[in-house]
Amino acid sequence: MKKTWIILAVIAVLIFMVYSSITGSYNNMVSMREDVTKAWAEVGNQYQRRSDLIPNLVNTVKGYADFEQETLTQVIEARAKATSVNINPDKLDAQSIQNFQNAQSGLSSALSKLMVVVEKYPELKANLGFLDLQAQLEGTENRITVARMKFNESAQTYNTFIQKFPKNLFAGMFGFEKKAYFEAEAGAEKAPEVQF
């Protein structure tokens, strides 16, 4: 009889250990997935901040009558495209992030072109409102970089956790999927050519 109780106690302890391991792993995966979602929300917030600054920038630049209308139109269209691409944080796969990144890159390119064209207008470059908006945009670009870096770090921590044995078994059972990263754009590894 005593032997039976010992066997039952050992089985109960093993069941409790397995249960604790599964629930602990599950809860950690949920927490890490939420960290990734939070980091993604911050990326979105910073891109939204940039998008919100653009109408003020365009209106400031529009005040200069001979400013190239085509450049302003490109910025407005790129902003519209960038704000139309939204991603569900639960579907952060490589294709979704690439689509988002492409739309944002189009806006970055249009803004870069706008800043180059502004160089031809010394009175615009001296406008305090324009200078303030330009500084805010530069600060926002830095915030975007930091937010993307933090997102990639959160995604890496989560991905590493769910791929390690035996957590990968639990991740598969409970539907935890790998999250994609922001990656450098094609050609970013090459230094730009400067010609004089």
Model confidence pLDDT, tens digit, residues 142-164: 999 999 999 999 999 999 999 99
Across the range 158-183, mean pLDDT stands at 93
Q: Give the per-residue pLDDT at 124.
A: 81
Does some domain include residue 182?
Answer: no
Task: In whole angstroms, give the CA distance from residue 14 to residue 187.
Answer: 54
pTM attached to this predicted model: 0.82
State the CATH number of the domain containing residue 102. 1.20.1440.20
Task: In whole angstroms, give the CA distance from residue 54 to residue 122.
Answer: 20
- Give the tens place of pLDDT for each residue, 5-42: 999 999 999 999 999 989 999 999 999 999 999 999 99
Q: How many domains does the chain have?
A: 1
Q: Give the per-residue pLDDT at 186.
A: 60
Amino acid at 5: W
Does some domain include residue 190?
Answer: no
- Give the tens place of pLDDT for each residue, 59-88: 888 877 566 788 888 899 999 999 998 888
Task: In whole angstroms, give the CA distance from residue 68 to residue 62.
Answer: 9
Q: Give the per-residue pLDDT at 68.
A: 75
Q: Calculate the average pLDDT of the chain.
A: 88
Q: pLDDT category, 194, cuts 50, 70, 90?
A: very low
Q: Give the per-residue pLDDT at 92.
A: 85
| Residue-number span of the structural domain to which 88 is assigned | 2-174
Does some domain include residue 191?
Answer: no
Does some domain include residue 189?
Answer: no
Amino acid at 139: G
45-49, 61-65, 97-101: least confident range: 61-65
Does some domain include residue 26?
Answer: yes
DSSP for 56-107, please give it: HHHHHHHTSTTS-HHHHHHHHHHHHHHHH----GGG--HHHHHHHHHHHHHH
Does some domain include residue 89?
Answer: yes
Res 195 pLDDT > 70:
no
Amino acid at 60: T
Task: In whole angstroms, give the CA distance from residue 160 to residue 138.
Answer: 33
Does some domain include residue 39?
Answer: yes
Cβ proximity of 75 and 54 under 8 Å: yes
Q: Give the per-residue pLDDT at 67.
A: 66
